[in-house]
Structure 1
Amino acid sequence: MLWFALILVGIGAMQWGSQRVCALLGELRKHWGIAETGGGALLGLATASPEISVNIASVALGWPDIGLGTALGSNVPALPLIFVISYVSTRWHRRRAVAEHRQNPDSAPPPPMPQVKEQAVWLQMLPYLFVVALLAALTLTPGWEGLQPLDGLILALVCAAYMVRALRAPGERVPCQSPGRKTLAALPGFAAIAAGALVAVLASRQLNQALGISDLVGGLFITGFLCALPESFSAWRLSRSGRATSAVSAAVADGIYSLTLAMLPLAIVGAAVGNVGLYALNLGFLGAVLLGYMALNRRVVVGEARSSLLTPARVGVFAAGYCAYVVVAVRLIA
């Protein structure tokens, strides 16, 4: 219980720090006139900072499997959780708004059901799918097993190309004050992320040993899953305010950085993938979720833009898929 509590403390410190950095990047997004989907790519740098920091700390301490498991474990549940949370959040607040609007017609109209702009598919989903496929090819192809320095260089170049493409999406510049104060306010956030990563990795190692599980399994189902929860539940606030596109875009950007930038420390030291079957299952599930979203994507016209609605059937498919993933993963571990 002590080590588990310390993991929570470390993750809490990293999330607190990433929120400070998010505030700074949010101001920069508006100041630079970056589109909502491009803003998700920018904010993803902050939300992915815990995974990146955990990987650096795990490599420095000689336990790279913790970092690898955390990077994958925070990615796998993220999109299913965000789809479910976005739908439930909007549905719940819409019902309340409808009831209030009936009692008071002058009140604000009920918000629409969660919609994800078509732009998010092309700017976020397809690059994410490409990164997952590329990582699988680099680490699972016979003769290329594991992560090597060349793999890290390739992933870094792909990450840079994704950032340039996403940030160049047209957006409206919002007049705002200089982000100088936000920059100073973000400095403690960087320190909290670094300290939190060190505490989380040290506690994870002790907890894994106490439970008798491998570092990869502990990173996947304990540290990584706990890292994904705060980021996923931010979708509740974003969806409630009609920003489902931001919620999905930030999660996808987080995933892309977690599978590219966060892999650099592992690639430098030539880390192995450990349990190949479990590793392949995680990459396969990520690819299936992305392909499933694009296959189920139903475009609807909203003004002059096209969006996709998150319906109960679509949300249920992703939730059921994650449950099936857990069952298969448990069998592989056993």
Structure 2
Amino acid sequence: MSLLGAAFWLLVLVAGVSVAHWGADKLAHPVKKLRQRWALGGTAGGAIVGLAVAMPEVSLTASSVVQGASDIGLGLMVGTNVISLPLLTTIAYVASRPNESPADGENDVSVGDPGRAQRTADADTESSRHALYIDSSAATVVVLPYVAVVSLVALLTLPAPWRGLQPVDGWIMLGAYAVFLTQSVVRGRADADPADPDWSRTEFGLALAGLVTIVVAASFIVRSTDHLAAALGVSDLVGGLFVTAPLGLAPEAFGTWSVVRSGQVTAGSIDVFTDAAATMTLGFFPLAVVGLPIHNFRLYWVSLAFAVGLPAVFAALLYWQRHGYGLERWQVLFYDGLYLLYLAVVVGWVLPH
């Protein structure tokens, strides 16, 4: 492929991601009203946000199957869940800067814990000034259940007797997502009366248009990734991991920024885990239904190991956060460093073999 051709498909990819972002934004917009309607706290709200913003990845994996490029979908599914966790946590941290006062997020971080707002207000200003305020209950309600989801994927796809993706695996993962979503919503409900926000026909129409836009954009993203992988001389799996996955995060990045800036700090910060859970289960389904062997087993298991390890580290940081008031700057930077470690392992050990 010529340089001009590669540039063309790169532009198609960027345009597809941009259009998918618009669609995701229209889907994510009613989330705050749903939280009010169902009296959902920050952790439960994050589960609903994640389901909405995961639609691009789910559409991409389905589109990759339809277009006969399932390895792109597999790379996207795993790669997104590796890069998204540190990247979106960092974006949430930066977006929360105008909301450094705990009172700004009191409807979020103190949900289900009336004393948390007072404890946060009494925190030492210097020690908590640069913290990302996340309800610590998110560790057990969302993050650790997500670790269980990814561990289940590893159990279903790594052992030699049943290595690869099989149709039965898809049905198992659908059931796993139903359990994940149900427990997140039930355990994360707020102790408050439901509200009755106004719903407009225009809002509903835009949300539907957003869903259609995401599906259409997904087909162009997969096709452009396929051409770019060929131009770079890499496999579809590598293209999905390191081309489609990073660019495909644009909708989630904008969504996280918008939700956190609106004051829903916990919901915006943990929707990356609920989004990743939806990607690893709902996105898993179309790939498993057609049956998919793993062509680069070393790259797959290393990526999956980091997909399990990163949320486990996050849960530990969140559970033992200093004073119980949030993740500090050094913890966010440490988390980013784990992704750099992943890149070093892939470039230095996986790809040369």
**Number of matched pairs:** 316
Match of 1:184 among 205, 220, 227: 205
Moved more, 240-249 or 189-198: 240-249
Work out the CA distance in 2 between the residues paired with 1:174 and 1:119. 23
RMSD over equivalenced CA pairs, Å? 2.3
Unaligned runs of 5+ in 1: 96-108, 302-306
Alignment pair present for 1:39 and 2:52: no
C-alpha displacement of 1:233: 4.8
SS of 2:197's equivalent? coil
Q: Which of 332, 339, 344 is residue 315 of structure 1 equivalent to?
A: 332
| CA displacement, residues 89-121 of structure 1 (integer Å, 9 cap, x when unaligned) | 4457759xxxxxxxxxxxxx9996321102211
Q: Work out whether residues 149 and 277 of structure 2, in 8 Å CA contact, stay in contact via their aligned partners in 1.
A: yes
- Compared with structure 1, are the counterparts of its residues 240 and 21 closer, same or farther at alpha carbon in structure 2 (3 Å cutoff)? closer
Matches of 1:47 and 1:79 in 2, distance apart?
A: 14
Correspondences of 1:189-200 after superposition (within 5 Å):
189-200=210-221
> TM-score, normalising length from structure 1?
0.88
Counterpart residue number, 1:215: 236
For the residues of structure 1 that align with 2:260 and 2:31, how far apart are their CA atoms? 20
Query: 38-47 vs 153-162, which deviates more?
Result: 38-47
Whole-angstrom CA distance in 2 between matches of 1:94 and 1:32:
27
**In structure 2, what is the equivalent of residue 170 of structure 1?**
189
Residue in 2 aligned with 1:226? 247
Q: Which 5+ residue runs of structure 2 have no aligned equivalent?
A: 1-6, 102-124
Distance in 1, Cα, partners of 2:90 & 2:182 = 30
Determine if contact 1:24/1:179 at 8 Å carries over to the other structure: no
Distance 1:309 1:181, change over 3 A: same
Q: Once the two structures are superposed, what CA deviation does each residue of 1:6-37 show, in whole Å capped at 9, x if it has no partner?
A: 01111111121111111234322321222221
**Cα distance in structure 2, aligned partners of 1:187 and 1:242:** 26
The CA deviation at 1:293 is 1.8
Opposite residue 269 of structure 2, the aligned amino acid is: V
Q: 1:12 to 1:162 in 2, by over 3 A?
A: same
Q: 2:340, 2:143 → 1: CA distance?
A: 22
Distance 1:308 1:289 in 2: 21
Percent identity of the aligned residues?
33
For 1:21 and 1:229, the matched residues in 2 are separated by 14
Residue 299 (structure 1) shift: 4.4
Contact 1:40 1:246 survives alignment (8 Å): yes
Deviates more, 1:122-131 or 1:165-174: 165-174
Aligned partner of 1:126 in structure 2 is 144
What letter corresponds to residue 327 of structure 1 in structure 2? A
Structure 2 residue corresponding to 1:86, chosen from 81, 92, 101: 92
Q: Deviations over 1:310-332 (max 9, x none)?
A: 11221121111111100111131
**Do 1:149 and 1:267's aligned partners in 2 also have CA atoms closer than 8 Å?**
yes
CA distance in 1, matches of 2:337, 2:132: 20
Question: How far off its partner does 1:204 sit?
Answer: 0.9
Contact 1:67/1:219 (<8 A) preserved: yes
Counterpart for residue 66 of structure 1? 72
Q: 3-state SS of the aligned residue for 1:314?
A: helix
Q: Structure 2: how far apart are the matches of 1:12 and 1:54? A: 14
Conserved 8 A contact 2:13-2:220: yes
Alignment deviations for residues 164-183 of structure 1 (CA, whole Å, 9 cap, x no partner): 11222322323311354422
| Cα drift, residue 232 of structure 1 | 2.9
After superposition, residues 222-261 of structure 1 pair within 5 angstroms as: 222-261=243-282
* TM-score (ref. length: structure 2): 0.83
Inter-partner Cα distance in structure 1 for 2:282 and 2:75: 15
Pair 1:73–1:143, CA change in 2 (3 A):
same
Q: Distance in 1 between matches of 2:199 and 2:277?
A: 29
